[in-house]
Amino acid sequence: MTCQQAKEISIVEFLKSNHILPEYIRGKDHWYLSPLRQENTASFKVNSELNLFYDHGSGIGGDIIDLGCQLFKCDVKELLSKLESGSFLFQQQPVFKRPLHILDSVTQDADFSPIKITRVQSLGNNPALTDYIKSRGIAPETARQYCEEVYYQIGDKSYLATGFKNNSGGYELRSQYFKGSSSPKDISHIENGNWSVCVLEGFMDFLSLLTLRKESPVRSDFLILNSVSFVDRSMDILKNYRNVFLYLDHDHAGRIALEKYEAAGLNTIDASGTYQKFKDLNEYLLDQQPRQQEQNQRKDLKKSGGLGL
């Protein structure tokens, strides 16, 4: 990962992945109790539009690289390695009186995760997770085919999230308040016995594709990267397919991944033109759904001959 790629990571999402939420939000400004020091009044500001932070109490500010180096107590090279591997969790300072529910991952190996899975069950038992799936435009019955409810601990605190299993037994975890993964982190390869494969960056994009193609299902295998850092790892699998359809994000990391795949000699098809004006498939899905609902209402009116009064 380069510095430029790292700067595309949202500071707000980075903090959220550590269960650090703003005390309040005013426009584009998110105000937090500072993760850099002890305080009782929120004076740590993140501007979500500029993706910059400023800690009014210490006078420290900058981008995600400046913040990450402060939190991890590491240099830029080590930080970039951690961000690329998905090791976003850092150690709060011992002087903190207010627990932030985060643990140290600085001295651990790449497969270490402070997330401990305690229980896994079928998706649909917890209304909050069902509502979260719906908020992403995904039908719960579609998500239930591939996702589970995962209960986990970080330190002595318990949480739950929608979990999507990878090839090595780890989970991608998502909820309204959390985006992270358990160890080991890996790609997810879904085999349906086809000669074509669709490549997507995350499982929400995968579920979005299934939702968008509900009326005409995609006849393909699927490979979900779960991190663009796994592009190279996916090559050995993809070389066995005749056609590789790429549904990558419209950002710098997605463009780099696209270039790598095209340079690898695979028979690639860039399928991202469908959502050209959007960052990813899920964003496109959420934009399309109100229009689809309107079209369905018009069809119903046409069938009924109009409104009955």
Which pair of structure tokens corresponds to residue 6? 């790292």
CA distance 203 to 82: 21
CA distance 146 to 166: 11
DSSP state of 94: T
- Over residues 171-224, the pLDDT tens digits come to 999 988 777 888 888 999 999 999 999 999 999 999 999 999 998 899 999 999
172 near 164, Cβ under 8 Å? yes
Taking 80 as the threshold, does the pLDDT of residue 242 lie above it?
yes
- Over residues 9-42, the pLDDT tens digits come to 889 988 887 778 888 888 888 999 999 888 888 8
220 near 190, Cβ under 8 Å? no
- Over residues 33-73, the pLDDT tens digits come to 999 888 888 889 999 888 999 988 888 888 999 998 888 88
> Degrees (nearest 5) of the Cα angle 249, 253, 256?
105
CA distance 225 to 103: 25
Q: Give 33's contacts (C-beta < 8 A, 6+ positions apart).
A: 23, 39, 40, 41, 42, 44, 98
Domains and CATH numbers, the chain: 3-85 (3.90.580.10), 115-181 (no CATH), 188-284 (3.40.1360.10)
Strands 24-26 and 29-32: antiparallel
CA distance 173 to 203: 10
* DSSP E strands, the chain: 24-26, 29-32, 44-47, 52-55, 60-62, 115-122, 147-154, 157-165, 171-174, 179-181, 188-190, 196-200, 221-224, 243-247, 268-270
- Over residues 139-181, the pLDDT tens digits come to 999 999 999 999 988 777 788 999 999 999 999 999 887 778 8
The pTM assigned to this predicted structure is 0.64
Beta bridge partners of 179: 174
CA distance 222 to 8: 26
CA distance 122 to 151: 11
Taking 90 as the threshold, does the pLDDT of residue 4 lie above it?
no
Share of the chain above pLDDT 70, in %: 84
Taking 50 as the threshold, does the pLDDT of residue 130 lie above it?
yes
Predicted confidence at residue 116, as pLDDT, reads 87
What are the counts of helices (DSSP H) followed by strands (DSSP E) for the chain?
10, 15
- Over residues 82-98, the pLDDT tens digits come to 777 665 554 443 333 33
